[in-house]
A and B are shown apart, each in its own frame.
Chain A
Amino acid sequence: MSTNAHVRLSVIAVVVVGLFSAMFARLWYLQVLDSNSFIAAASANEIRFVHTEAPRGEIRDRRGRPLVVNKRVEAITVDLAVLAGHPDRNEVLGRLATLLEIGRPELDKRLADLRHSRFRPVPVAEAVPEHKVTYLAEHRTDFPGVQSAIIAQRSYPNGSIASHLLGYVLEISAEKLQERKAEGYRLGDAIGQSGIELVHERDLRGVAGVTKLQVDAKGRVLSTLDHQPPVAGHDVHLTIDLEVQRLAEESLLQGLEVARGLRDNEEGRPFVAPAGAVVVLDPSDGSVLAMASYPTYDPSEFVAGLPPERYRELVDDTKGAALTNRAIQSGYAPGSTFKLVTAAAATERGMVDPRTTITDRGSFTIPSCRGEQCTKRNAGGAAYGSVNLSRSLTVSSDVYFYDLGARFWLEKGVEDGMQDTAKAYGLGSRTGISLPSERPGLIPDPDLKKRRHAENPVAFPEGTWQTGDSVNMAIGQGDVLVTPLQLASTYATFGNGGSVFRPRVAARVVDRQGNTVREEPAAKVRTVEVSPAVDEAIRDGLRGVVADREGTARTAFAGYSAMSVAGKTGTAQVTSKQDSAIFAAFAPVNAPRYAIAVVMEESGFGGAVAAPVARRIFEGVGGQQPGSVFAGDGFD
């Protein structure tokens, strides 16, 4: 060969070496420099995770009776992997749509639902009637890939009982999913929306199961690499007693019906009696035995997802706001039931000796006040004559308390007396019960009045606290607001000798095997000191309310023979509404095991309709066959 040819061959050699160098360089880049990103991409290709939601924990009452459980319902699922390659795919789906009576577009929509992993059969219908499930089983060859499966649904064996307290679950919303993604929530997961379901979400939820699958390029599952079964959520045992709860709800409902049969004194209109609440506490530790709110709702409505218009109806104030738990989320003027606080405040500050009597002539004129509004009268215009502390409570003498109220403002050093005692009993601030959206209520004072006026002079034209404000406050009017739970807790505190407990509704958290995971112990917040003489006088007066022939709840408790009761009626005026009927009590008088607050909106006198509701509950828990609620004739 010529030299020329050799030179040309060298050129070829250079080109070849260049090409091989390029390949090595590229190989180095892919397999060494950038390898990690490709490793990640390859594993993302190949690995799929399928999550199985854990069975949610159950909610039980203090004796273990079920309040919320999981019902197993028949669902129809479609295995897309089987159907994908099937020649009759279209026909099968058509047949299925006809059988389920949902139409083909709807079926396709459900199949495409992103909440479901496509590596697991997709549920297309829940709670399917049994005959259709049977039909599917008998015609299996016509429905390849279609199966029936059992899925868990929230179920309420007692209907709407305790619905406000228990709350409900819904599928997690898009916003909430963003918020709580870090906690492992995924599209389609259930999440507690209110009540115990919300507060104990972490206990009830459990841990989702994860199956790690290896899939090929066509999405076919090749093997299961790892499987962690779901861990069921814990059960929550409540302090609620199902029987007491049912008794409270029934009694409240009856009481409201009775009220609707009565007419008010001013215009003679029947009472509207649209709503109310009952709280039953154990005064020895603040446990909630029952918490009723009316109107109520059926939590099973939420199981299949609630239509938006129905939800709007349930929260609409003009339609009763059924989702509101009035026992903790509504503030009411306590009326005469507040006199317990006024009495304790005045006696503890030495303003009045329990034995001291005043003369009740039926009216009271606010000192240094001129005009029509300055003279206040007892309800019904009664004059009780010589009244000491006990009798003032028994007959509900407003004049006795008007006098005390005025003195709180006019005498030195006791200006904040009523407020301080009210706050010591826990009024004006949240009790701290572990339920969502509790209201603090309101105990007004001069500062608040000034502040409100400064912020909104139109709504609050008066900015200065006056004697009349203290006079009104003494009988639980004015701006005083308490929740039914606070009212029950106040009477429980007085009844147990002064221990303020944080009310509790959950007793303990229990795992699936029955082992206690966590106790929710009673928590004593503080003690309110009441001297023995004062305690005796007030207790006597409250006992007289139901037992004395002068008592405002005497007729409501006529024929009552269960445990001894100390209570107080209240009738609160509400602007542009009919009076609220209120009754608060504890029993037995000297070692109370029950404290009850009954509040009924636009229902008239507490002694007429609220006390009978409480009576029926005391009968039930006291071993007496509870009768029907009937109207008493008390004037307060």
Chain B
Amino acid sequence: MAGATMTRQFGPGLAARRRAATAWRHVDIALVVSVLTCVSLGLVMIYSSTRTRLAEQGTDPAFYLKRQAAFVVVGVVVMAVTALVDYRVLQNRAPLVYGAMVLALLAVLSPLGVERKGQQASFELAGFQLQPSELAKVGLIVVLAAYGSLHGADLNWERVGVAVGLAAVPVALIYLQPDLGTSLVFLVILLGILLVAGAKGRHLLALLALGVVPVVAVVQLNVLQDYQLDRLTSFLDPQNDTRRAAYNLNQSKTAIGSGGVLGKGLFAGTQTNLSYVPEQHTDFIFTAVGEQLGLVGSGLLLAVYGLLAWRVWRAAALARDLFGSLICVGVLSMFVFQVFENVGMTMGIMPITGIPLPFLSYGGSSTLAAFAAVGLVLNVRMRRFA
């Protein structure tokens, strides 16, 4: 087991085991509970969104439910393992992580990867699709945190440039798949880590001008004019044809809006149970929550995400070193952006891009990546005294 070998490198086993045992006492229960709450709700909503269609096709109505449950079990194990091994071992091995990440992203573009829905984004493994770009998010967090902590509070143009360059390679590879949404997540992670690592205001402004301004412009226009939104999002994301995008957005807003305060009741959503909303068990899962559980359910879900964000932010603040702190900031940036982009998209305040809702959307790679990210945060927090 990888963990065992790494511990041995850090010296006598007994002391390390004692430290680890002490560390487990500082596990953030609130964070774990908020994550488990999200995945539980996710399982219910995935079942609700897919069972009718599956039953009609004559297959097991719990097909997606069972698969996602398996991902969750594996995810919890991944989270535990990620939390177990002291995160500081990663600081020196960041180049290794980076190399593996870039290699995987290159490989997926080669004939080794498979094309689905117009995206060359995954490997096919025993009936499961592994998307390296999802795991690469966590990889980039580690790499940028390690680089940032190396030059902590002393970032100049050159070092900011190197950080941007580090992020640019995977972003470019992912953009080639093409997957605009995930590329955006990488940029946001870069931005968050650079901010806390000590980048000056001018550095960040330059970065914004470079990459984020066009995105913000899209968002702004989006709020103002529907047809402009359609045109711009289809420009940004050629996979979406404009009429389909407008239809999807309309149905998505209708689903959430018609849920009202109390919702239509679990399994009683006409929009989400009758296939009016597309991709409802993956990218548009929030519409199922909004329609069936109403403002109460979707508001509570956002509150749980808020709790999760607060616990991650708290871990960043409590971390014993800048590396740990930056890891948490990266994870925080990733989660908050994904939640805001995904939920905002279903409500019509963000452009439609294919970003999953962490812990809610169906999908193996994204679920595993999210659990791994939370594992890192748990790791940083429980070792704040060690």
Contact = CB atoms under 8 A, between A and B. Distances in A.
Contact of A12 (B196, B256, B306): B196
A38 B195 contact: no
Nearest to A222: B274
Contacts of A13: 313
B275 A38 contact: no
Interface string A28-68: 10111011011101110110000000000000000000000
Nearest to A2: B153
B349 A32 contact: no
Interface in B281-304: 290-291, 294-295, 298-299, 302
A39 B336 CA distance: 30
B275 A1 contact: no
B347 A39 contact: no
B178 interface: no
Interface stretch (A16-24, A102-110, A360-368, A575-583): A16-24
Contact of A43 (B256, B259, B270, B306): B270
A458 interface: no
Taking residues whose C-beta sits less than 8 angstroms from the other chain, chain A's interface range is 35 or more
Nearest to B337: A19
Given A38-B258, A39-B257, A19 B295 contact: no
Contacts of A217: 251, 274-276
Interface stretch (A3-11, A159-167, A320-328, A403-411): A3-11
Contacts of B309: 16, 20
Contacts of B339: 23
Residue from the set A6, A38, A45, A46 with the largest chain B CB neighbour count within 10 Å: A38
Given A9-B317, A38-B257, A23 B343 contact: yes
Interface in A309-345: none
A4 B155 CA distance: 13
B322 A5 contact: yes
B349 A31 contact: no
Nearest to B194: A8
A214 interface: yes
A12 B332 contact: yes
Taking residues whose C-beta sits less than 8 angstroms from the other chain, chain B's interface range is 35 or more
A12 B333 CA distance: 9
Given A5-B198, A42-B254, A20 B274 contact: no
B173 interface: no
A338 B343 CA distance: 90
Given A1-B317, A31-B290, A31-B295, A16 B347 contact: no
Contacts, number: 136
Contacts of A38: 253-258
Contact of B258 (A1, A6, A19, A41): A41
Contact of A31 (B251, B256, B317, B333): B256
Contacts of A218: 275
A20 B300 CA distance: 12
B192 interface: yes
Contacts of A28: 295
A26 interface: yes
B329 A9 contact: yes
Interface in B333-370: 333, 336, 339-340, 343-344, 347-349
Contact of B257 (A30, A45, A214): A30
Contacts of B271: 42, 45-46
A216 interface: yes
Contacts of B306: 20
Contacts of B61: none
B189 interface: no
A24 B305 CA distance: 12
B328 to A, nearest CB: 9
B195 A12 contact: yes
A16 B295 CA distance: 20
A259 to B, nearest CB: 73
A27 interface: yes
Contacts of A32: 260-261, 295
A96 to B, nearest CB: 28
B325 interface: yes
Contacts of A12: 192, 195-196, 313, 316, 329, 332-333
Nearest to B260: A35
Contacts of B153: 2, 4-5
Interface in B178-236: 192, 195-196, 198
A23 B347 contact: yes
Interface in B306-338: 306, 309, 313, 316-317, 319, 321-322, 325, 329, 332-333, 336
Given A35-B258, A39-B260, 5 more contacts: A1-B325, A9-B316, A11-B195, A12-B332, A217-B275
27 contacts: A4-B198, A5-B198, A9-B313, A9-B317, A12-B332, A12-B333, A19-B340, A20-B309, A22-B349, A23-B339, A23-B343, A24-B302, A27-B256, A27-B295, A27-B298, A27-B299, A30-B290, A30-B347, A31-B259, A31-B295, A35-B261, A38-B253, A38-B254, A42-B255, A45-B276, A46-B270, A217-B251
Interface of A: 1-2, 4-6, 8-9, 11-13, 15-16, 19-20, 22-24, 26-28, 30-32, 34-35, 37-39, 41-43, 45-46, 214-218, 222
Interface of B: 153, 192, 195-196, 198, 251, 253-261, 270-271, 274-276, 290-291, 294-295, 298-299, 302, 305-306, 309, 313, 316-317, 319, 321-322, 325, 329, 332-333, 336, 339-340, 343-344, 347-349
